Structure 1
Amino acid sequence: MAGDKDTLLSMGFDPARVEWALKATGNRGLQPAMDHILEHEGQAVPDLGGVSEQPAGRAPMDVDEDDEDAEALKSLGVLKGNAVEAKSIKCSLCGKVFKNTALANFHAEKSGHDQFEESTEEIKPLTEEEKKQRLEELREKMAEKRAKKAVEEAKEHKANEALRRKAGKDMNKIKEDMKLKEALKEAEAKKREKIEDAKAKAAIKAQIEADKKARAEKAAREKALRDGQPLPEASGSANPPRPAAVAAPTSGVAGKDFKETRLQIRLSTGGQPYTTTLSSDASLREVAEFLGGQLHTIDVDTVTLAQHFPRKVFARADFEKSLKELGLTPSAVLIATP
């Protein structure tokens, strides 16, 4: 009926469920339709083409007209002659009376009762006041269900948010730990590099002092020879250390396993020095090639490279040796002569 349908739609029910309820209850009124919607609210709406409309005023139950069934119905007092006046369905176990088979089936599913019978007992229709009360109860029940669902969704959202925040904190902690480890590693590498640089500088300084002392002793001996005086004794020992012997610490320091070598290359003709960092396994020729790339006046095949401390001019054969083999690691100053 149009009035019942409009009322149900105004209550906010889904139109498909309203159509299903009205068709399944045979348009017997607002109350049966509401009962149907309430009982089937958790079920999917079926294809309405397969739902047969029940005639109004009749309970949806087929009656077998066999004599044996008729006798049984007569004994129950629900069969008068050959006519069945079934107005309701009664549960034989608990005595509850239902308007139609849909309500009876719902009761059977919930209670587990499986014994039902037709009854001539007529369920009185609800008054307007009772309809309003049932409608209000239905609305309260639906509101309670929505509120409960909202609370559950809020709890689930809160739990998900807590998991998300925890995952974010864990990820940030991992990133911070990685940064700290990288910083410590870099600081340790710089510390080792400074120590090795200090050792190399100390070796160079010792070489300079040895050279000065050797030159002073040589000048003193030459002066004694010119003046006809006895030769002064060499300080320290009878065999003064030669520059090569002093240079050994530098070679020992530079010969360690340094992956890179920092070079400063100065031109004998003056000008701004050039700096570069090469692999310790790079050859001296690569140094000449680097300088040739900076200055077009430099010929890689004729340029001469030398070292002041210890004083050494590298031969052409040295150009094929690595910086590590030549004792130039971890850093060195070279003089280039075009």
Structure 2
Amino acid sequence: MANDKEALMGMGFDAARVEWALKATGNRGLQPAMDHLFENEGKPIPDLSAVSESASRPANAMDVDDDEDAEALKTLGLKANDIEAKSIKCSECGKVFRNTAVAQFHAEKSGHDQFEESTEEIKPLTEEEKKEKLAELRQKMIEKREKKAIEDAKEQKVSETIRRKAGKDMGQIKEDMEKRQAMKDAEQKKKDKIDDARARAAIKAQIEADKKTRAEKFAREKALRHGQEIVDAPASAPVASASTAAPTGVAGKDFKETRLQIRMSTGGQPYTTTLPSESPLREVAEFLAGQLLTVDVETISFAQHFPRKAFTKSDFSKSLRELGLTPSAVLIATPPGP
């Protein structure tokens, strides 16, 4: 038994599977154990304590007195009336088996269910046959390992192809995301630049307005100190400076835009804006209403100190060019009285 186990393990069979084969075949030798191993290749190993040793009885006199062997023979389609039977033969394929256990394994694997008792005695293998069987088993094991290695290589190649494709797809997705982010950053940078330019322009306009306010205040204080008449010289200054700054030979009608400074008669900081010269005076009222919630477009009135002129409601529909306010002017806005 020990030699059979070592021989089978030397062929590359698992120790637990060898013990199962030896026990299932009743330790009848190397040949039955090898038959069992091939018949049950790939099947899970059962609990060895539950494996029957019914095959341990002599093969030249089949004992069918107990219920277990009778049931096995009945399953195989045999009759328990010939105690001189030395083997069991498959009527469908012609294979001969030593005992009912091996025949049962053959029936489970092949699906054959027609068996008959046989007086043919299965002779034990000679030393030469054992060597040939061992060589055959080793060759089968080598072929099986080579086949498994080829299948593993194919599976690995497929897995590598899938992995590379997935990596390529992820790389493309990452590249697209980076491009979209770069475009988004460029748009945001452009918007920030425009906002900064507008903010600087607003600050510059506020500084200019503050300068004009301080100049007006200084002129008033100087006139009071010297007892002179207070005039709105600073208010008329932008018009004069704008007129003198206009290029030679360019008439007011040729200016496409008009810059206005609007001062409230009630005091406070002036407001500046630039409108198309063809805009009606009403747009100036609408601009002022957008700056001050207290201003009503329908009730506000405008006047000009230099040259002195008051604008009526009928002038609201006239353009800034028609009213002689181009290219720049200072307007005094007066809300209605209480």
Q: Structure 1-normalised TM-score? A: 0.54
| Partner residue, 2:64 | 63
Counterpart of 1:150 in structure 2 is 149
Q: Which runs of 5+ in 2 are unaligned?
A: 71-78, 229-235, 244-251, 253-258, 264-268, 275-286, 291-338
* Structure 1 segment 224-303 matched on structure 2, within 5 A: 234=240, 236=243, 241=261, 247-248=272-273
Residue 33 of structure 1 deviates from its aligned partner by: 1.4
Post-superposition Cα deviations, 1:30-63, rounded to whole Å, max 9, x if no partner, equal 1111111222121222222222333353279653
> For 1:220-257, what per-residue CA distance to the aligned partner results, in whole angstroms no more than 9, with x for missing partners?
xx9xx9xxxxx9983558x98457666336xx9xx9xx
Q: 1:108 to 1:145 in 2, by over 3 A?
A: same
Over 3 Å counting, the alpha-carbon distance change for 1:182 and 1:94 in structure 2 is closer
Maintained 8 Å contact 1:86/1:118: yes
Larger CA Rg, structure 1 vs 2: 2
- Work out whether residues 59 and 98 of structure 2, in 8 Å CA contact, stay in contact via their aligned partners in 1: no
Alignment of 1:1-338 (within 5 A): 1-53=1-53, 54-55=55-56, 57-58=58-59, 63=64, 84-202=83-201, 234=240, 236=243, 241=261, 247-248=272-273
Shift of residue 121, structure 1, vs aligned partner: 0.8
Q: CA deviation at 1:137?
A: 1.1
Letter in 2 for 1:36: H
List per-residue Cα deviations over 1:181-233 (Å, max 9, x = no partner). 22211211111221233344456666778899997xx99xx9xx9xxxxx998
Question: Residues 62 and 117 of structure 1: is their aligned pair in 2 closer, same or farther, counting only changes over 3 Å?
Answer: farther
Q: Distance in 2 between matches of 1:22 and 1:7?
A: 12
Cα 1:248/1:194, change in 2 over 3 Å: same
Distance of 2:273 and 2:62 partners within structure 1: 115
Asked whether the equivalents of residues 260 and 273 of structure 2 are also in contact (C-alpha less than 8 Å), the reply is no
Flag the 1:59–1:189 CA change in 2: closer, same or farther, 3 A.
farther
What root-mean-square deviation, in Å, do the aligned CA atoms of Structure 1 and Structure 2 show? Answer: 4.1
Number of aligned positions between the proteins: 228
Local SS of the residue matching 1:89: strand
Is residue 20–residue 45 contact of structure 1 (8 Å, CA) maintained in 2?
A: yes
Question: Structure 1 regions of 5+ residues with no counterpart?
Answer: 70-77, 226-230, 256-338
Cα distance in 2 between the residues matched to 1:60 and 1:154 = 52
The amino acid that maps onto 1:168 is: G
Three-state SS of the structure 1 residue aligned to 2:88 is strand
